[in-house]
Structure 1
Amino acid sequence: MNHSDKLRVGVILNDLAVATGREIGDAARFAEELGMEAVFMGDHLVPAVPYPDSVTVLATAAAATERIRVGFGVMVLALRPVAWAAKQVAALQQMSADRVVLGIGSSGEMHGRAAWDAVGVPFDERGRRTDESLALLPGLIAGKPTRVGGAEITIAPSASVPPIWIGGNSTVAIRRAARHGDAWYPSMITPEKVAASARRLAELAAEAGRPTPGVAVGGTVALGPDASSGVDELVRGLHEGYGLPLDEARRVPITGSPQQVADRLAEYAGAGVRHVVLGTAAGDWRRQWELVAQARELL
């Protein structure tokens, strides 16, 4: 792998769910100092555990840093009126000097239906509404006159449209990425499945007359002696929550020494992945980020 093709590594701020703004800023700067490509935040209105607003967290991270990108991992677009979502993304893109990565997903059964009921969006319509919003979102962000509902509106100030990563492992998500995405962004997936699905992604993009989107993968590391206890719980969650067969679920967490982590990351790079976004299992997230950075240098 030459330098220009080197796998780009981002980390998830999920361990800072109840952190203050200063702690979030400190974490983002720490990731920047380690040479990470990006910090990401998930998006949950009614989470199982305390979870702050993604836009606010990413704005805080952007204000505390200069280079590192700030990413949604992923924004549940259909929970929001598309015009408001575009306004938020445009503002974040302006404030961060074009450092946003806009991951977009439609959520699923594992996250429940309470959030959808709370905002009055039927759960079973989330896919259709996601597609409809994706068709409008780039134009809105860019400040183009766009008809939304019964009105033609223009968002100002406008912003450059950030790269759009379409989250999800399903065939629907792959089709959506081929139609709307700059990248396909599955999570908790093996390199073998990535490679097979990437071929289908290329076919669908060609049928749509679009360039083949890139591939980014979300994963989890459990590094260092104090993180090993979290692996069994993580595997159980992948099996029960994500529906992965147990043997496959055991292959998803990335463990071991920095060299072993680098070898695992190289498998994803060999499957066509150009970005990985890593959460951490139980343990010291700062130490785990340091070990990930060491592994990145070994690639």
Structure 2
Amino acid sequence: MKLGVILPAGDLRVSARQAEDAGLDSVFLGDHLMTGRPSLDSTVGLGVAAAVTTGIRIGLSVFVPAMRPLAWAAKQIATLQEVSGERLILGIGSGGGEAQFAAAGVPYGERGPRTDQALRLLPELLAGNEVRIGDAVVELAPAVAVPPIWVGNRGRRVLERVAEHGTGWFPSLLPPDAVADGRRRLTDLGVANPVTAVGATGALGGGADLPTAADLATGINEVYGMPLDQALSLPLTGSAEAVAERLATYREAGAAHIVVGLAGPRWAEQVRALGRVRALLGP
């Protein structure tokens, strides 16, 4: 099982190097126009992470092409793939909320069709082929290798998008049994050996300054509306050994890659603990 981490706000040069030094497999950034909290542009931020690391994968968790002109979105993705030495993992979703789409000048009701168009055309655009978008014929250069495309979120339409266009499924905040169910449904849709990545939240180690599992579950309940009894089963807390044991159940359910958003202070200490989890999980 591979293990990655969401980069925190702050100096990305330092945090990306810390994640690589800890032995993690990937670093990710979310893609938000505005959330009420400070956030960096995902493509610029990952370009910084790529520039100061050598082997760790860089990932978008998840990129929302529907909020952008498609040719411009393809150019951003191609640039990241080029400058990172083909280390990009391209998570794609259609979320972001009505306010973000309004700020981008894109009708919220068009997010589904625009996402489908992006998934259909991005591989051709990245490969440098001529692609018709509306009245324009677009040919981008330099051409790049198409990165792994992980389709984010959950639901039947998401799984259909994985089957039609993706190389993996990338839901967040799911228990292992739901991951296993999604894998079975993908198999029914004819997807052979899909790479399943799962987004998780956690606070590793101990100390009064770190949020507890109950604290994290309350946050999940407030932000996502998930019932508290369900949310309580999701946070990753405690020792590296305890977290590795929890993640092993995700591996048994079919998850090949876990991406953790660390909560609370002492990020550098927590990411070192996450590195110990990675070592315990083995190859």
Alpha-carbon deviation of 1:156? 0.7
Amino acid of the structure 2 residue aligned with 1:225: G
Which AA in structure 2 matches 1:51? S
Deviations 1:41-83 (A, max 9, x none): 0000012201010000000000001101110000011001111
Q: Which moved more, 1:36-45 or 1:233-242?
A: 233-242
| 4+ residue segments displaced more than 4 Å | none
Write out aligned runs for 1:101-140 (5 A): 101-107=89-95, 111-140=96-125
Q: 1:214 aligns with which of 195, 212, 216?
A: 195
User: Is the CA contact 1:178–1:212 (under 8 Å) kept in the aligned structure 2?
Assistant: no
Q: Which residue does 1:235 correspond to in 2? A: 217
Deviation at 1:258, TM superposition (A): 1.1
- Describe how 1:81-160 pairs up with structure 2 within 5 A: 81-107=69-95, 111-160=96-145
By how many angstroms is 1:246 displaced?
1.7
**Structure 2 gap ranges (5+):** none
Residue type at the aligned position of 1:285: W
Q: What TM-score results when the alignment is normalised by the length of structure 2?
A: 0.95
User: 1:171: Cα distance to partner?
Assistant: 2.2
Cα offset for 1:163?
A: 0.4
Letter in 2 for 1:218: G
Decide whether aligned partners of structure 1 residues 139 and 211 sit closer, same or farther in structure 2, where only a CA change above 3 A counts: farther
Partner SS, residue 224 of structure 2: coil
Amino acid at match of 1:31: A
1:230, CA displacement in angstroms?
A: 5.0
Residues 50, 287 of structure 1: alpha-carbon distance in 2 compared, 3 angstrom cutoff: same
Q: Take 1:69 and 1:143, find their aligned partners in 2: how far apart are those partners?
A: 23
Q: Work out the CA distance in 2 between the residues paired with 1:103 and 1:81.
A: 17
The residue number in structure 2 matching 1:293 is 275
Amino acid across the alignment from 2:227 = P
1:166-181 matches, cutoff 5 A: 166-181=151-166
Match of 1:283 among 246, 258, 265: 265
Matches of 1:297 and 1:212 in 2, distance apart? 24
- Pick the aligned partner of 2:45 from 57, 62, 73: 57
Q: Does 59-68 or 226-235 show the bigger shift?
A: 226-235
**Structure with the larger RCO, 1 or 2 (CA within 8 Å, 6+ apart):** 2
Tell me which residue corresponds to 1:29.
17
What RMSD over aligned residues (CA atoms) do the two structures have, in Å? 1.4
1:135, distance to aligned residue in structure 2 (A)? 0.5
The offset of 1:32, in angstroms, is 0.9
Distance 2:226 2:26 in 1: 27
Deviation at 1:29, TM superposition (A): 1.1
Aligned length: 280
Name the SS of the counterpart of 1:229 in structure 2: coil
Q: Tell me by how many angstroms 1:179 deviates.
A: 1.3
Say which SS state the counterpart of residue 196 (structure 2) adopts: strand
> 1:231 Cα shift?
3.5
- 1:77 and 2:65 are equivalent in the alignment: yes
Q: CA deviation digits over 1:100-150, x for unaligned, max 9? A: 00000011xxx5312211222111221111001110111001101111111
Using the TM superposition, give the Cα deviation of residue 212 of structure 1 relative to its aligned residue in structure 2, in angstroms.
4.2
2: distance between equivalents of 1:229 and 1:214? 31
Distance 1:156 1:89 in 2: 12
Question: For the residues of structure 2 that align with 1:51 and 1:139, how far apart are their CA atoms?
Answer: 30
The answer (yes or no) to whether the contact 1:147–1:153 under 8 Å persists in 2 is: yes
Q: In the alignment, which of 198, 201, 224 is matched to residue 205 of structure 2? A: 224
Does the CA-based 8 Å contact 1:230-1:282 persist in structure 2? no
Of stretches 133-142 and 170-179 in structure 1, the one that deviates more from structure 2 is 170-179
Between the aligned residues of both structures, percent identity stands at: 46
Q: Distance in 2 between matches of 1:199 and 1:211?
A: 10
